[in-house]
Structure 1
Amino acid sequence: MASAKIKKGDQVIVLSGKDKGKTGQVVQSLPKADKVVVSGVNIAIRHKKPTQDAPEGGLVRSEAPMHVSKVAHVVDGKPTRVRFEVRDGKKVRVAVKGGEVING
C-alpha cells in the first residue's frame, strides 16, 4: 500500500466543486475509498425523524467525504503537491512549492 500524501490533521484547500477555494483541516482520512473529510467543507444536509435521543429531529448538517484528488496541501494560502524524500534516514513528506517538510 502506498504512503498517504494527505493525512488527518493536514491543512488543505479544495481544488474543484461547489466549495472550490475553501480551506480546512482534514478530520478523517479514508484511504481504502480514496476519500477525506474536511472540516467546514462539503456540508451534507440530512432529514432526520424525531427519536428519543433527538426529539427535535429536523435537518442535520455534517461534513461528507470527498475524493482526495479534489484537495491539495496549503502553503502560504496556495495549493501545492507533495513528494517524498529521505532526510536524516527518515522518509518525510515535502511540499513541492517551498520544499518545507510537512509534519505528521
Structure 2
Amino acid sequence: MPARIRKGDRVVLLSGKDKGKSGVVLEVRPREGRVVVEGVNIMKRHTKPRPPNEPGGVIERPAPVHLSNVSLIDPKDNRPTRVRIQEIDGRRVRVSARSGERFD
C-alpha cells in the first residue's frame, strides 16, 4: 500500500510553532508516526568537539513532527490537501482530494 506521505514530498505544517511553513520531507518514520521536514521545527544541539574533524558548538537541525500536523501541498494550486488512494491501471496511486491531480 502506498504511504500517504513520502520522502521528497512538499508539505505544510498545520499546527505548532512553525504553523504555515512549508518544506520538503527529508525522512519518514512510520513506526513513530513522524516526519522530518527541511527548515521546520529546528532544534539546537550542543556538541563537544570530537577529533579529528568534528568541531564543537551549537548545531541546528530539524526535529521530527507528528504526521497529523502536516499536510501535502496540492501540485495544482499549492494549497494543503488530503490524499486519496485510487487504483489507476491496476496500480494504487496517491491522488489529491482537492484537484484529483496525481502525486507520483
Give me the TM-score of the superposition, normalised by structure 2. Answer: 0.91
2:4 alignment counterpart: 5
Q: Distance in 2 between matches of 1:28 and 1:97?
A: 25
Q: Distance in 2 between matches of 1:8 and 1:40?
A: 15
1:47 alignment counterpart: 46
1:59-100 CA-to-partner distances (Å, cap 9, x unmatched) read 100111110111001122311000101111111110000000
Q: Distance in 2 between matches of 1:3 and 1:34?
A: 15
Q: Distance in 2 between matches of 1:87 and 1:50?
A: 53
Map 1:1-104; keep pairs closer than 5 Å: 3-52=2-51, 53-55=53-55, 57-75=56-74, 76-103=77-104
Unaligned stretches of 5+ residues in structure 1: none
Aligned-residue Cα RMSD (Å) equals 1.1
Q: Distance in 2 between matches of 1:45 and 1:77?
A: 30
Unaligned stretches of 5+ residues in structure 2: none
Give me the TM-score of the superposition, normalised by structure 1. Answer: 0.91
1:23-66 CA-to-partner distances (Å, cap 9, x unmatched) read 111010000110001011111101111221323x1110011111
**Percentage identity across aligned positions?**
49
